[in-house]
Structure 1
Protein backbone atom coordinates (compact mmCIF):
# COMPACT_ATOMS: atom_id res chain seq x y z
CA UNK A 1 0.00 0.00 0.00
CA UNK A 2 1.11 3.59 -0.60
CA UNK A 3 2.20 5.92 2.20
CA UNK A 4 0.39 8.94 0.66
CA UNK A 5 -2.07 9.14 3.57
CA UNK A 6 0.71 9.13 6.17
CA UNK A 7 1.65 12.56 7.50
CA UNK A 8 5.07 13.89 6.52
CA UNK A 9 7.88 12.68 8.76
CA UNK A 10 10.30 15.35 7.60
CA UNK A 11 12.40 16.51 10.55
CA UNK A 12 11.65 13.34 12.54
CA UNK A 13 14.11 10.54 13.28
CA UNK A 14 12.64 7.08 13.80
CA UNK A 15 14.71 4.58 15.75
CA UNK A 16 13.74 1.09 14.60
CA UNK A 17 14.66 -1.47 17.26
CA UNK A 18 14.81 -4.96 15.80
CA UNK A 19 15.04 -3.54 12.30
CA UNK A 20 15.65 -6.78 10.40
CA UNK A 21 12.23 -8.31 11.13
CA UNK A 22 9.70 -8.18 8.25
CA UNK A 23 7.27 -5.93 10.12
CA UNK A 24 10.03 -3.53 11.25
CA UNK A 25 11.37 -3.30 7.69
CA UNK A 26 7.89 -2.45 6.44
CA UNK A 27 7.49 0.19 9.15
CA UNK A 28 10.85 1.73 8.20
CA UNK A 29 9.81 1.81 4.54
CA UNK A 30 6.69 3.80 5.38
CA UNK A 31 8.76 6.25 7.41
CA UNK A 32 11.29 6.63 4.60
CA UNK A 33 8.59 7.24 2.00
CA UNK A 34 7.15 9.93 4.28
CA UNK A 35 10.53 11.71 4.41
CA UNK A 36 11.77 10.68 7.86
CA UNK A 37 15.33 9.93 8.96
CA UNK A 38 15.84 6.34 10.11
CA UNK A 39 18.13 4.78 12.70
CA UNK A 40 18.25 1.04 12.12
CA UNK A 41 19.17 -1.03 15.18
CA UNK A 42 19.81 -4.77 15.21
CA UNK A 43 22.40 -7.53 15.49
CA UNK A 44 22.95 -8.32 11.80
CA UNK A 45 24.94 -5.30 10.64
CA UNK A 46 25.29 -6.58 7.07
CA UNK A 47 21.53 -6.91 6.74
CA UNK A 48 21.08 -3.47 8.27
CA UNK A 49 23.33 -2.06 5.54
CA UNK A 50 21.17 -3.67 2.85
CA UNK A 51 17.99 -2.29 4.42
CA UNK A 52 19.61 1.15 4.65
CA UNK A 53 20.27 1.15 0.92
CA UNK A 54 16.65 0.34 0.17
CA UNK A 55 15.37 3.08 2.50
CA UNK A 56 17.62 5.66 0.89
CA UNK A 57 16.16 4.81 -2.51
CA UNK A 58 12.67 5.17 -1.03
CA UNK A 59 13.30 8.75 0.06
CA UNK A 60 14.81 8.73 3.54
CA UNK A 61 17.08 11.80 3.81
CA UNK A 62 19.50 9.86 6.02
CA UNK A 63 19.75 6.29 7.27
CA UNK A 64 22.16 5.18 9.98
CA UNK A 65 22.76 1.65 11.27
CA UNK A 66 23.57 0.97 14.91
CA UNK A 67 24.50 -2.44 16.38
CA UNK A 68 21.98 -3.46 19.03
CA UNK A 69 21.32 -6.65 20.97
CA UNK A 70 18.21 -6.62 23.16
CA UNK A 71 19.56 -9.46 25.30
CA UNK A 72 22.89 -7.71 25.97
CA UNK A 73 21.48 -5.28 28.51
CA UNK A 74 24.93 -4.21 29.66
CA UNK A 75 25.41 -2.53 26.27
CA UNK A 76 22.20 -0.50 26.38
CA UNK A 77 23.65 2.56 28.12
CA UNK A 78 26.26 2.97 25.40
CA UNK A 79 23.64 2.33 22.73
CA UNK A 80 21.38 5.03 24.19
CA UNK A 81 24.29 7.49 24.11
CA UNK A 82 24.82 6.74 20.41
CA UNK A 83 21.12 7.34 19.74
CA UNK A 84 21.24 10.69 21.57
CA UNK A 85 24.15 11.80 19.39
CA UNK A 86 22.33 10.77 16.20
CA UNK A 87 18.92 12.23 17.11
CA UNK A 88 18.75 15.58 18.92
CA UNK A 89 16.21 15.92 21.73
CA UNK A 90 12.78 16.64 20.33
CA UNK A 91 13.33 14.82 17.04
CA UNK A 92 13.32 11.19 18.21
CA UNK A 93 10.52 8.65 17.71
CA UNK A 94 10.89 4.96 18.56
CA UNK A 95 9.54 1.75 17.08
CA UNK A 96 10.24 -1.25 19.30
CA UNK A 97 9.54 -4.37 17.30
CA UNK A 98 11.99 -7.05 18.33
CA UNK A 99 10.90 -10.38 19.78
CA UNK A 100 11.48 -14.13 19.79
CA UNK A 101 8.98 -16.98 20.01
CA UNK A 102 10.50 -20.42 20.68
CA UNK A 103 8.22 -23.43 20.79
CA UNK A 104 6.32 -23.70 24.08
CA UNK A 105 7.27 -27.38 24.48
CA UNK A 106 10.96 -26.56 23.98
CA UNK A 107 10.80 -23.88 26.68
CA UNK A 108 9.00 -26.23 29.07
CA UNK A 109 11.83 -28.72 28.60
CA UNK A 110 14.55 -26.08 28.89
CA UNK A 111 13.91 -23.30 31.44
CA UNK A 112 17.01 -21.46 30.20
CA UNK A 113 15.34 -21.13 26.80
CA UNK A 114 12.23 -19.79 28.53
CA UNK A 115 14.31 -17.13 30.27
CA UNK A 116 15.91 -16.14 26.97
CA UNK A 117 12.42 -15.71 25.53
CA UNK A 118 11.51 -13.43 28.41
CA UNK A 119 14.72 -11.43 27.91
CA UNK A 120 14.15 -11.16 24.18
CA UNK A 121 10.55 -9.99 24.53
CA UNK A 122 10.37 -8.17 27.85
CA UNK A 123 13.54 -7.54 29.87
CA UNK A 124 15.50 -6.18 26.91
CA UNK A 125 12.64 -3.88 25.97
CA UNK A 126 12.34 -2.51 29.50
CA UNK A 127 16.09 -1.91 29.66
CA UNK A 128 16.48 -0.03 26.38
CA UNK A 129 13.34 2.06 26.84
CA UNK A 130 14.39 3.10 30.35
CA UNK A 131 17.74 4.20 28.97
CA UNK A 132 16.07 6.23 26.19
CA UNK A 133 13.20 7.70 28.22
CA UNK A 134 15.18 10.67 29.65
CA UNK A 135 16.11 11.77 26.11
CA UNK A 136 12.46 11.66 25.09
CA UNK A 137 11.47 13.64 28.17
CA UNK A 138 14.11 16.27 27.44
CA UNK A 139 12.65 16.81 23.96
CA UNK A 140 9.03 17.24 25.17
CA UNK A 141 7.64 15.52 22.09
CA UNK A 142 7.81 12.20 20.28
CA UNK A 143 6.09 8.92 19.55
CA UNK A 144 6.89 5.48 20.92
CA UNK A 145 5.45 2.34 19.35
CA UNK A 146 5.72 -0.82 21.44
CA UNK A 147 4.82 -4.00 19.58
CA UNK A 148 3.29 -6.57 21.89
CA UNK A 149 0.96 -9.40 20.94
CA UNK A 150 -2.58 -10.65 21.43
CA UNK A 151 -0.84 -13.59 23.13
CA UNK A 152 -0.38 -11.34 26.15
CA UNK A 153 -4.11 -10.91 26.69
CA UNK A 154 -4.60 -14.33 28.26
CA UNK A 155 -2.39 -17.21 29.33
CA UNK A 156 -2.99 -20.10 26.97
CA UNK A 157 -1.80 -23.69 27.16
CA UNK A 158 0.21 -23.51 23.94
CA UNK A 159 2.13 -20.24 24.36
CA UNK A 160 1.84 -18.90 27.89
CA UNK A 161 5.58 -18.29 28.37
CA UNK A 162 5.81 -16.06 25.32
CA UNK A 163 2.41 -14.61 26.22
CA UNK A 164 3.52 -13.77 29.77
CA UNK A 165 6.46 -11.76 28.41
CA UNK A 166 4.15 -9.83 26.09
CA UNK A 167 1.70 -9.26 28.94
CA UNK A 168 4.50 -7.82 31.03
CA UNK A 169 5.55 -5.64 28.11
CA UNK A 170 2.02 -4.26 27.75
CA UNK A 171 1.87 -3.39 31.45
CA UNK A 172 5.28 -1.71 31.30
CA UNK A 173 4.24 0.25 28.20
CA UNK A 174 1.12 1.46 30.04
CA UNK A 175 3.22 2.78 32.90
CA UNK A 176 5.73 4.34 30.50
CA UNK A 177 2.80 6.01 28.72
CA UNK A 178 1.76 7.64 31.99
CA UNK A 179 5.32 8.77 32.67
CA UNK A 180 6.07 10.19 29.22
CA UNK A 181 2.66 11.80 28.82
CA UNK A 182 3.84 14.43 31.30
CA UNK A 183 6.51 15.42 28.76
CA UNK A 184 4.30 15.43 25.68
CA UNK A 185 5.43 12.01 24.42
CA UNK A 186 2.85 9.41 23.38
CA UNK A 187 3.23 5.65 23.76
CA UNK A 188 1.20 3.36 21.51
CA UNK A 189 0.93 -0.31 22.44
CA UNK A 190 0.22 -2.45 19.38
CA UNK A 191 -1.21 -5.94 19.80
CA UNK A 192 -0.88 -7.79 16.50
CA UNK A 193 -2.75 -10.96 15.74
CA UNK A 194 -1.25 -13.37 13.24
CA UNK A 195 1.18 -11.72 10.82
CA UNK A 196 2.48 -13.31 7.64
CA UNK A 197 6.13 -13.60 8.72
CA UNK A 198 8.78 -16.26 9.25
CA UNK A 199 7.82 -16.45 12.95
CA UNK A 200 4.37 -17.81 12.08
CA UNK A 201 5.20 -19.71 8.87
CA UNK A 202 4.00 -23.30 9.07
CA UNK A 203 2.52 -23.03 12.56
CA UNK A 204 -0.80 -24.85 13.06
CA UNK A 205 -3.92 -22.82 13.69
CA UNK A 206 -2.76 -19.69 11.87
CA UNK A 207 -5.63 -17.85 10.16
CA UNK A 208 -6.33 -14.38 8.74
CA UNK A 209 -2.62 -13.52 8.77
CA UNK A 210 -2.00 -9.87 7.87
CA UNK A 211 0.68 -8.71 5.44
CA UNK A 212 3.59 -6.88 7.14
CA UNK A 213 3.14 -3.81 4.89
CA UNK A 214 -0.51 -3.38 5.89
CA UNK A 215 0.17 -4.01 9.57
CA UNK A 216 3.11 -1.59 9.67
CA UNK A 217 1.08 1.11 7.98
CA UNK A 218 -1.71 0.70 10.55
CA UNK A 219 0.84 0.90 13.37
CA UNK A 220 2.41 4.12 12.08
CA UNK A 221 -0.93 5.81 11.49
CA UNK A 222 -2.10 4.83 15.00
CA UNK A 223 1.07 6.27 16.53
CA UNK A 224 0.75 9.53 14.64
CA UNK A 225 -2.82 9.85 15.93
CA UNK A 226 -1.62 9.31 19.49
CA UNK A 227 -3.61 6.11 19.97
CA UNK A 228 -2.89 4.30 23.23
CA UNK A 229 -3.69 0.63 22.53
CA UNK A 230 -4.55 -0.80 19.12
CA UNK A 231 -5.10 -4.27 17.74
CA UNK A 232 -3.73 -5.07 14.28
CA UNK A 233 -5.70 -6.06 12.28
CA UNK A 234 -8.54 -4.29 14.10
CA UNK A 235 -10.84 -7.34 14.30
CA UNK A 236 -8.48 -8.99 16.80
CA UNK A 237 -9.87 -6.74 19.49
CA UNK A 238 -13.23 -8.53 19.18
CA UNK A 239 -11.58 -11.96 18.95
CA UNK A 240 -9.62 -11.33 22.14
CA UNK A 241 -12.66 -9.88 23.91
CA UNK A 242 -14.41 -13.19 23.31
CA UNK A 243 -11.37 -15.23 24.41
CA UNK A 244 -10.97 -13.17 27.60
CA UNK A 245 -14.67 -13.59 28.44
CA UNK A 246 -14.49 -17.40 28.62
CA UNK A 247 -14.70 -18.47 32.31
CA UNK A 248 -11.43 -19.87 33.67
CA UNK A 249 -12.96 -23.22 34.63
CA UNK A 250 -13.86 -23.72 30.97
CA UNK A 251 -10.82 -22.03 29.46
CA UNK A 252 -8.31 -24.24 31.29
CA UNK A 253 -9.82 -27.28 29.59
CA UNK A 254 -9.36 -25.88 26.08
CA UNK A 255 -6.41 -27.07 24.03
CA UNK A 256 -5.49 -23.66 22.66
Structure 2
Protein backbone atom coordinates (compact mmCIF):
# COMPACT_ATOMS: atom_id res chain seq x y z
CA UNK A 1 0.00 0.00 0.00
CA UNK A 2 2.81 2.36 0.89
CA UNK A 3 4.50 1.77 -2.46
CA UNK A 4 1.25 2.46 -4.34
CA UNK A 5 0.80 5.75 -2.50
CA UNK A 6 4.41 6.68 -3.20
CA UNK A 7 4.02 5.79 -6.88
CA UNK A 8 0.81 7.82 -7.13
CA UNK A 9 2.54 10.75 -5.46
CA UNK A 10 5.38 10.73 -7.99
CA UNK A 11 2.94 10.42 -10.92
CA UNK A 12 0.99 13.42 -9.66
CA UNK A 13 4.20 15.37 -9.11
CA UNK A 14 5.45 14.62 -12.62
CA UNK A 15 2.05 15.52 -14.08
CA UNK A 16 1.96 18.80 -12.18
CA UNK A 17 5.49 19.59 -13.35
CA UNK A 18 4.56 18.96 -17.00
CA UNK A 19 1.45 21.14 -16.71
CA UNK A 20 3.45 23.90 -15.02
CA UNK A 21 6.09 23.71 -17.75
CA UNK A 22 3.47 24.06 -20.51
CA UNK A 23 1.92 26.99 -18.69
CA UNK A 24 5.25 28.72 -18.06
CA UNK A 25 6.44 28.33 -21.66
CA UNK A 26 3.03 29.34 -23.02
CA UNK A 27 3.03 26.49 -25.56
CA UNK A 28 0.05 26.59 -27.90
CA UNK A 29 -0.10 22.98 -29.09
CA UNK A 30 -3.77 23.17 -30.18
CA UNK A 31 -2.72 25.97 -32.53
CA UNK A 32 -0.86 23.38 -34.64
CA UNK A 33 -4.13 21.84 -35.80
CA UNK A 34 -6.44 24.86 -35.79
CA UNK A 35 -7.43 26.93 -38.80
CA UNK A 36 -5.19 26.56 -41.82
CA UNK A 37 -2.13 25.44 -39.82
CA UNK A 38 -2.15 21.91 -41.23
CA UNK A 39 -2.52 23.20 -44.78
CA UNK A 40 0.41 25.57 -44.29
CA UNK A 41 2.57 22.77 -42.88
CA UNK A 42 1.69 20.50 -45.82
CA UNK A 43 2.51 23.29 -48.25
CA UNK A 44 5.86 23.99 -46.59
CA UNK A 45 6.78 20.30 -46.44
CA UNK A 46 5.81 19.88 -50.09
CA UNK A 47 8.15 22.69 -51.11
CA UNK A 48 11.11 20.44 -50.24
CA UNK A 49 10.20 17.99 -53.00
CA UNK A 50 11.60 17.06 -55.38
CA UNK A 51 15.17 17.61 -54.08
CA UNK A 52 17.48 19.54 -56.37
CA UNK A 53 19.53 16.97 -58.30
CA UNK A 54 21.29 19.30 -60.73
CA UNK A 55 24.96 18.30 -61.29
CA UNK A 56 26.33 21.64 -60.12
CA UNK A 57 24.44 21.52 -56.82
CA UNK A 58 25.26 17.86 -56.21
CA UNK A 59 28.91 18.75 -56.66
CA UNK A 60 28.64 21.50 -54.03
CA UNK A 61 26.86 19.13 -51.65
CA UNK A 62 29.55 16.50 -52.20
CA UNK A 63 32.27 19.02 -51.31
CA UNK A 64 30.29 20.04 -48.24
CA UNK A 65 29.93 16.38 -47.18
CA UNK A 66 33.67 15.81 -47.51
CA UNK A 67 34.31 18.98 -45.51
CA UNK A 68 31.92 17.83 -42.78
CA UNK A 69 33.58 14.41 -42.70
CA UNK A 70 37.02 16.00 -42.46
CA UNK A 71 35.92 18.37 -39.66
CA UNK A 72 34.56 15.48 -37.60
CA UNK A 73 37.50 13.17 -38.25
CA UNK A 74 40.24 15.69 -37.50
CA UNK A 75 38.35 17.11 -34.52
CA UNK A 76 37.88 13.62 -33.07
CA UNK A 77 41.54 12.73 -33.64
CA UNK A 78 42.75 15.88 -31.90
CA UNK A 79 40.30 15.24 -29.07
CA UNK A 80 41.51 11.67 -28.65
CA UNK A 81 45.14 12.80 -28.42
CA UNK A 82 44.38 15.60 -25.95
CA UNK A 83 41.98 13.40 -23.98
CA UNK A 84 44.58 10.62 -23.72
CA UNK A 85 47.18 13.06 -22.40
CA UNK A 86 44.79 14.55 -19.85
CA UNK A 87 43.48 11.14 -18.82
CA UNK A 88 46.91 10.19 -17.47
CA UNK A 89 46.70 13.17 -15.14
CA UNK A 90 43.00 12.67 -14.35
CA UNK A 91 43.62 9.04 -13.41
CA UNK A 92 46.11 10.15 -10.75
CA UNK A 93 49.23 8.85 -12.48
CA UNK A 94 51.15 12.05 -11.64
CA UNK A 95 49.80 12.93 -8.22
CA UNK A 96 46.67 14.23 -6.53
CA UNK A 97 47.17 17.89 -7.49
CA UNK A 98 47.55 17.07 -11.19
CA UNK A 99 44.52 14.79 -10.91
CA UNK A 100 42.32 17.54 -9.47
CA UNK A 101 43.47 20.12 -12.04
CA UNK A 102 43.00 17.72 -14.97
CA UNK A 103 39.51 16.69 -13.84
CA UNK A 104 38.53 20.34 -13.46
CA UNK A 105 39.77 21.07 -16.97
CA UNK A 106 37.96 18.06 -18.43
CA UNK A 107 34.74 19.08 -16.70
CA UNK A 108 35.09 22.61 -18.08
CA UNK A 109 35.72 21.39 -21.64
CA UNK A 110 32.74 19.06 -21.83
CA UNK A 111 30.33 21.30 -19.95
CA UNK A 112 30.40 23.83 -22.82
CA UNK A 113 28.31 22.54 -25.79
CA UNK A 114 29.85 22.27 -29.24
CA UNK A 115 27.66 25.07 -30.61
CA UNK A 116 28.93 27.46 -27.95
CA UNK A 117 32.53 26.42 -28.61
CA UNK A 118 31.90 26.92 -32.34
CA UNK A 119 30.53 30.43 -31.79
CA UNK A 120 33.60 31.29 -29.71
CA UNK A 121 35.99 29.73 -32.22
CA UNK A 122 34.36 31.61 -35.11
CA UNK A 123 35.12 34.83 -33.25
CA UNK A 124 38.68 33.69 -32.52
CA UNK A 125 39.62 31.93 -35.76
CA UNK A 126 37.11 33.27 -38.28
CA UNK A 127 34.43 31.57 -40.35
CA UNK A 128 35.13 28.19 -41.87
CA UNK A 129 35.96 24.57 -41.06
CA UNK A 130 38.88 25.44 -38.76
CA UNK A 131 36.47 26.87 -36.19
CA UNK A 132 34.28 23.77 -36.39
CA UNK A 133 37.26 21.45 -36.00
CA UNK A 134 38.44 23.29 -32.89
CA UNK A 135 34.94 23.30 -31.40
CA UNK A 136 34.55 19.55 -31.81
CA UNK A 137 38.07 18.89 -30.54
CA UNK A 138 37.64 20.95 -27.36
CA UNK A 139 34.28 19.50 -26.32
CA UNK A 140 35.13 15.92 -27.28
CA UNK A 141 38.48 16.10 -25.48
CA UNK A 142 36.57 16.69 -22.26
CA UNK A 143 34.30 13.71 -22.89
CA UNK A 144 37.00 11.30 -24.05
CA UNK A 145 39.45 12.41 -21.38
CA UNK A 146 36.99 11.48 -18.64
CA UNK A 147 36.16 8.13 -20.28
CA UNK A 148 39.83 7.34 -20.86
CA UNK A 149 40.65 8.18 -17.24
CA UNK A 150 37.92 5.86 -15.95
CA UNK A 151 39.24 3.08 -18.18
CA UNK A 152 42.74 3.61 -16.76
CA UNK A 153 41.45 3.54 -13.19
CA UNK A 154 39.68 0.20 -13.83
CA UNK A 155 42.69 -1.42 -15.51
CA UNK A 156 44.65 -3.95 -13.42
CA UNK A 157 48.03 -2.57 -12.34
CA UNK A 158 49.76 -5.95 -11.94
CA UNK A 159 51.28 -6.15 -15.47
CA UNK A 160 52.77 -2.65 -15.25
CA UNK A 161 54.03 -3.27 -11.71
CA UNK A 162 55.68 -6.51 -12.80
CA UNK A 163 57.50 -4.69 -15.59
CA UNK A 164 58.65 -1.98 -13.19
CA UNK A 165 59.97 -4.59 -10.77
CA UNK A 166 61.81 -6.23 -13.65
CA UNK A 167 63.65 -2.97 -14.31
CA UNK A 168 61.50 -1.37 -17.03
CA UNK A 169 61.03 2.39 -17.05
CA UNK A 170 57.73 4.15 -16.40
CA UNK A 171 57.07 4.73 -20.11
CA UNK A 172 57.84 1.14 -21.08
CA UNK A 173 55.71 -0.19 -18.24
CA UNK A 174 52.78 1.94 -19.39
CA UNK A 175 53.17 1.06 -23.09
CA UNK A 176 53.52 -2.68 -22.55
CA UNK A 177 51.71 -3.23 -19.26
CA UNK A 178 48.79 -0.78 -19.21
CA UNK A 179 48.12 0.46 -22.74
CA UNK A 180 47.28 -2.95 -24.30
CA UNK A 181 44.53 -3.39 -21.71
CA UNK A 182 42.84 -0.02 -22.32
CA UNK A 183 43.54 0.57 -26.01
CA UNK A 184 40.54 -1.41 -27.39
CA UNK A 185 38.24 0.45 -25.01
CA UNK A 186 39.81 3.80 -25.93
CA UNK A 187 39.35 3.08 -29.63
CA UNK A 188 35.74 2.05 -29.08
CA UNK A 189 35.01 5.28 -27.20
CA UNK A 190 36.72 7.30 -29.93
CA UNK A 191 34.73 5.67 -32.72
CA UNK A 192 31.47 6.21 -30.85
CA UNK A 193 32.25 9.88 -30.34
CA UNK A 194 33.16 10.15 -34.03
CA UNK A 195 29.63 9.00 -34.87
CA UNK A 196 28.23 11.77 -32.70
CA UNK A 197 30.65 14.34 -34.09
CA UNK A 198 29.53 13.59 -37.66
CA UNK A 199 26.05 14.76 -36.70
CA UNK A 200 27.36 17.73 -34.75
CA UNK A 201 29.71 18.79 -37.57
CA UNK A 202 26.69 18.92 -39.88
CA UNK A 203 24.98 21.33 -37.45
CA UNK A 204 27.94 23.59 -36.62
CA UNK A 205 27.66 25.25 -40.02
CA UNK A 206 24.67 27.16 -38.67
CA UNK A 207 27.14 29.33 -36.75
CA UNK A 208 29.54 29.64 -39.69
CA UNK A 209 31.76 26.61 -39.04
CA UNK A 210 31.58 25.23 -42.60
CA UNK A 211 30.39 21.92 -43.99
CA UNK A 212 26.89 20.77 -44.86
CA UNK A 213 25.41 22.79 -42.01
CA UNK A 214 26.50 26.03 -43.62
CA UNK A 215 24.96 24.95 -46.94
CA UNK A 216 21.73 24.07 -45.15
CA UNK A 217 21.65 27.40 -43.32
CA UNK A 218 22.20 29.36 -46.54
CA UNK A 219 19.57 27.45 -48.53
CA UNK A 220 16.94 27.74 -45.80
CA UNK A 221 17.70 31.44 -45.38
CA UNK A 222 17.13 31.96 -49.12
CA UNK A 223 13.96 29.80 -49.09
CA UNK A 224 15.56 27.27 -51.46
CA UNK A 225 13.80 24.28 -49.96
CA UNK A 226 14.54 21.87 -52.81
CA UNK A 227 18.27 22.50 -52.40
CA UNK A 228 17.92 22.19 -48.63
CA UNK A 229 16.26 18.80 -49.12
CA UNK A 230 19.32 17.59 -51.04
CA UNK A 231 21.57 18.71 -48.19
CA UNK A 232 19.37 16.96 -45.61
CA UNK A 233 19.42 13.73 -47.63
CA UNK A 234 23.21 13.97 -47.90
CA UNK A 235 23.43 14.37 -44.11
CA UNK A 236 21.26 11.30 -43.54
CA UNK A 237 23.23 9.20 -46.01
CA UNK A 238 26.57 10.23 -44.53
CA UNK A 239 25.44 9.51 -40.96
CA UNK A 240 24.11 6.06 -41.95
CA UNK A 241 27.35 5.15 -43.72
CA UNK A 242 29.54 6.34 -40.86
CA UNK A 243 27.36 4.55 -38.28
CA UNK A 244 27.67 1.30 -40.23
CA UNK A 245 31.44 1.71 -40.62
CA UNK A 246 31.92 2.57 -36.96
CA UNK A 247 29.79 -0.38 -35.79
CA UNK A 248 31.81 -2.74 -38.01
CA UNK A 249 35.10 -1.40 -36.67
CA UNK A 250 33.92 -1.70 -33.06
CA UNK A 251 32.93 -5.33 -33.66
CA UNK A 252 36.36 -6.05 -35.12
CA UNK A 253 38.09 -4.37 -32.18
CA UNK A 254 35.89 -6.16 -29.68
> Shared fold (TM-score greater than 0.5)?
no
Structure richer in helix, relative to its length: 2
TM-score by length of 1: 0.23
Q: Which has the higher contact order (CA 8 A, sep 6+)?
A: 2
Structure richer in strand, relative to its length: 1
TM-score by length of 2: 0.23
State the structure with more CA Rg.
2
